[in-house]
Amino acid sequence: MKHGLFITFEGIDGVGKSTQADLLAQALRTHGYKVCLTREPGGSAASEALRQLLLFGHVPFSLRSEILAHFAARFDHVERVIDPALREGQVVLCTRFSDSTIAYQGYGSGKGEQALLSFINMLNQSLDRQPDKTFLLKASRKTTQQRLTERNTKQDKYERAEESFHTRVIEGFEKIAAQDPERVRCMDTTLQSIDDIHKQILQEVLAVCTYVSSCA
């Protein structure tokens, strides 16, 4: 049974998900909340191993096996890290979750979209763990590319993909947000400062935390 609060950050690389998740974790801890800060793919030992394979491995996956590998990582992460933290009443902050699979593998691949979305949906239903709130961060592609260049880290398989893939992923996230406006809060990070965005996110999360009185 779930007691805590499950919040995810979504969007393409370079929109500021990790920055905002880190800032929110610090602020919530200052307010006295217990916070579990985690990421996908990753967050548990098995899931981190799958992350290496999915992002930096040289073995090509078929599309459905890639989706299953993302879900294998997710099931392990949920069972070993996310659900235990939620049972303890913690606020779980996770950069990326199932919406990323829908956007990247479902819409991004551009291959037989509807059949893939049904496949992902079936896995998602058996996972039975959905975020209470999702912050979908957006920025122009020019801005995200500039941020990634400045970051100067090793590019993963998805970052190296062609531009049309990223366009489809962005459109996929838009569709997810349009289908679930109650859960998904869109924020453009191009023109606002990191601190301004953080303050808005914190305010919205604190409002939900107060509402969910079981958050310890």
The residues that touch ligand TMP, with contacts defined as CB under 6 A, are 13, 39-41, 55, 70, 96, 100-101, 104-105, 156, 158-159
Is 85:211 a contact under the CB 8 Å cutoff? no
Exposed, middle or buried, 26 (CB in 10 Å: 0-12/13-18/19+)?
A: middle
In the bound state with ligand TMP, the residue whose beta carbon lies nearer, of 159 and 188, is 159
Q: Residue 117 CB, nearest distance to ligand TMP (Å)?
A: 13
Greatest Cα pair distance, the chain, in angstroms, is 47
Q: Residue 155 CB, nearest distance to ligand TMP (Å)?
A: 9
Q: Residue 86 CB, nearest distance to ligand TMP (Å)?
A: 19
In the bound state with ligand TMP, the residue whose beta carbon lies nearer, of 4 and 42, is 42
In the bound state with ligand TMP, the residue whose beta carbon lies nearer, of 156 and 188, is 156
Distance CA 206, CA 212 (A): 10
In the bound state with ligand TMP, the residue whose beta carbon lies nearer, of 13 and 83, is 13
In the bound state with ligand TMP, the residue whose beta carbon lies nearer, of 55 and 206, is 55
Q: Residue 131 CB, nearest distance to ligand TMP (Å)?
A: 13
Q: Residue 5 CB, nearest distance to ligand TMP (Å)?
A: 20
Strand partners, 91: 5, 35
